[in-house]
Amino acid sequence: MASSWVTITHAAVAMALLLMQFGFPARSKPVSTDPNNCLNLMPELKCCPDRNPKKIVDFKLQPQSSPLRVRRPAHALDTEEAQKYERATALMRALPDNHPWNFVQQANTHCAYCSGSHRQLGLNISFEIHGSWHFFTWHRAYLYFYERILGKLINDTTFALPFWNWDDPSGMSIPPIYRDNSSSLSNPTRYLIGLKFIDLGGCEGNNTVESLPMQRQCNLQVMHRQFIAGFNSSSLFYGSPYRAGDNSFPGGGAIESSPHSSVHRFTSSDMSIVTRAARDPIFFAHHANIDRLWAIWESIPGNGSKVFNDKDFLEASFLFWDENMQLVRIMVRDVIDTRKLGYVYEQVPLPWMNLKTVVEEVGSEDVTVAMGEDDSRKGEVKFPLVLSSQVSVHVGRKVGAKGEKLVVSDIELDGRDHVWFKVYVGRVGGGRVEAGCFIHMERRANERINMATKLQIGITQFIEEIGADGDDWVVVTLVPTVGRNKVTVGGVSIV
C-alpha cells in the first residue's frame, strides 16, 4: 500500500515537473493590429498610416436597409458603371495626401500589412496578412471599406467594385476599363502582354490566335486544380492557422499561390510587388475575384465549418478607416457572410468546375529520382535541398488512407524574392499530374525577410487519376521555374 502510494506521488511529481518544463498548452489568442506601433521598414515607401487616431471604434454591421451592392465582372460594365468607378477613383486620387481616403493612403494600408510594418498588438512582431488563414479575411475587409469610401465620394450607396473575372475565358486579359492611360484606373507601366492574356499558373504561350484558345483552356485547368482537385478541405483552402505571436507565413491556402500570385505577376509593374500592388487600381478587381471565389467556396455545402469554430480565427481583428472617417476595428467573424456586409456577386458561369485533370505521360529519361529518407534504394539527394533544378523523390504512402495530403515542409527563402516552383505527383514508372505550386511574390524591404513556410496539397483525387491507389510509393517532382537556388526545401511527405 505504502509503496504504491509512493509510486503514485512520484508519478504526479514527475508529471508536474514535465509540465513545468514544457509548459501547459499555452492559451492561444487571435492576432490583432497595434494602433500605436507601426514601423516604416521600406526603402522607398512609407506605408504606416499618416494619421494617428484619437479613438478606435468597434465595427458594427450596417442595418440591411439599403439594397445590396452587386459586384459585376469588370469586362462587362456598361458605360455608366465604368464612368462612375472612374470618377470615384479620380476623386480619391485628388484628396489631400494625408487624407485616410486618399488613393495612396489606401494603397499603403495594404502595404503596411505585408511589409512587416504593422505590428501585432502588444507583441512587437510583424502582422503579415499573407501566407495564412487570414489571406481571404483581411482582403475582404479591406475591399469592403474601399468600396464604401468610393461610394461615399460619389454619393452612391449602391456603388459596387467590379471583379476581374479571369477564371472565365472572356475575362482572361486586362479589362478595358483599366487600359485607357488617361483614366484614373490605369497604370501606364504595365506590360502590354496582359492586354492579350493573363496567366493563372504556367499557361504562358506566344499569345497568337492559334495558341490563345489552348492557353485559356490551360487556365481553366489551373482553376480546377486549385479550387476543386487539390484542396478538398476548408483547412487546405484557407491556409494554416496564424495566431497571436506566430511567425509570418505559416502556410498559404489554395488560391493564394495560384491563381492569386500568378495574376499579380503577369499584370506586372506595381502589381507584381506585394508592397506596391494596391497602387494599381486593378488590384481591387483582382481581389474582388479572389473574394468571389471564397464566397463560392463558402456556398458549397459542408465547407467552412471546421475553420469557423476556431475562436482565434473568428476573433482576429484589423484596423481600417471607414466611410465615416472613423478608424474601425473589425473582427473576422463579421466578414464571413458577404450579404451581411451588404454585397453579393453577380452569378456568372464557372467553366472550370467540372473538368478532368490532364495526366502527362513522362518518359523515364525525364525523371531523375532522388530517393526519400526511408526508401531502401537510397539516392544522392538529401533534404534540406536547395532547389536548383528539377528533382524527383519517392515518397511513401499508406494504401487506403483517407484525405491524403502532400506536405512540402520547411520551405525557406528570403521573403523579398520572387520564387515559383511546381509540384507534380506521379506514379512510379507511369504518368504524372501537376498537383499544385508554390508562388511567393516579391516584396521590398531593407533587410532580408527570413521566411519559413510550407505547402500542403490534397492529393486523393490525383492519386486516383494517375492510378496509384494501390501503390506504396509515388514520385513527387519539384520543378523550380522562378528563383532557382533561392529556395530550400526541408522535406516532402504524405500524411
- Chain positions contacting ligand C2O, by CB under 6 A: 110, 114, 130, 139, 260, 264, 274, 277, 287
CB of 410 to ligand C2O, least distance (A): 24
CB of 35 to ligand C2O, least distance (A): 20
Q: Exposed, middle or buried, 269 (CB in 10 Å: 0-12/13-18/19+)?
A: middle
CB of 340 to ligand C2O, least distance (A): 23
CB of 226 to ligand C2O, least distance (A): 15
CB of 284 to ligand C2O, least distance (A): 10
In the bound state with ligand C2O, the residue whose beta carbon lies nearer, of 275 and 357, is: 275
> Bridge-partner residues for 477, per DSSP?
392, 424
Positive or negative: CA dihedral 272, 478, 413, 482 = negative
What is the end-to-end Cα distance of the chain in Å, rounded?
46
Q: Which residues of 27-63 are buried (b: 16+ CB within 10 A; e: fewer)?
A: eebbbbbbbebbeebbeebebbbeeeeeeeeebeeee
In the bound state with ligand C2O, the residue whose beta carbon lies nearer, of 115 and 317, is: 115
In the bound state with ligand C2O, the residue whose beta carbon lies nearer, of 120 and 477, is: 120
CA distance 486 to 412: 9
Taking alpha carbons only, the member of 177, 202, 162 closest to residue 288 is 162
CB of 263 to ligand C2O, least distance (A): 8
| Contact partners, residue 9, CB within 8 Å, separation at least 6 | none
CA distance 217 to 327: 44
In the bound state with ligand C2O, the residue whose beta carbon lies nearer, of 130 and 394, is: 130
Helix 103-112 to helix 135-153 angle (10° resolution) is 170
Alpha helices in 102-242 (DSSP H): 103-112, 135-153, 212-224, 234-238
CA distance 255 to 132: 11
Q: Are the C-beta atoms of residues 25 and 110 closer than 8 Å to each other?
A: no
In the bound state with ligand C2O, the residue whose beta carbon lies nearer, of 257 and 357, is: 257
CB of 290 to ligand C2O, least distance (A): 7
CB of 25 to ligand C2O, least distance (A): 32
In the bound state with ligand C2O, the residue whose beta carbon lies nearer, of 139 and 405, is: 139
CB of 240 to ligand C2O, least distance (A): 17
CB of 250 to ligand C2O, least distance (A): 16
Q: Which residues of 96-110 are buried (b: 16+ CB within 10 A; e: fewer)?
A: eeebbbbbbbbbbbb
- Rg, C-alpha atoms of the chain: 24
In the bound state with ligand C2O, the residue whose beta carbon lies nearer, of 92 and 439, is: 439
| Contact partners, residue 61, CB within 8 Å, separation at least 6 | 334, 340, 341
In the bound state with ligand C2O, the residue whose beta carbon lies nearer, of 320 and 462, is: 320
CB of 271 to ligand C2O, least distance (A): 8
Q: Are the C-beta atoms of residues 179 and 262 closer than 8 Å to each other?
A: no
Where are the strands (E) in 274-334, listed by range? 317-321, 327-331
In the bound state with ligand C2O, the residue whose beta carbon lies nearer, of 253 and 372, is: 253
In the bound state with ligand C2O, the residue whose beta carbon lies nearer, of 32 and 262, is: 262
In the bound state with ligand C2O, the residue whose beta carbon lies nearer, of 112 and 395, is: 112
| Contact partners, residue 144, CB within 8 Å, separation at least 6 | 335, 341, 343
Q: Are the C-beta atoms of residues 429 and 465 closer than 8 Å to each other?
A: no
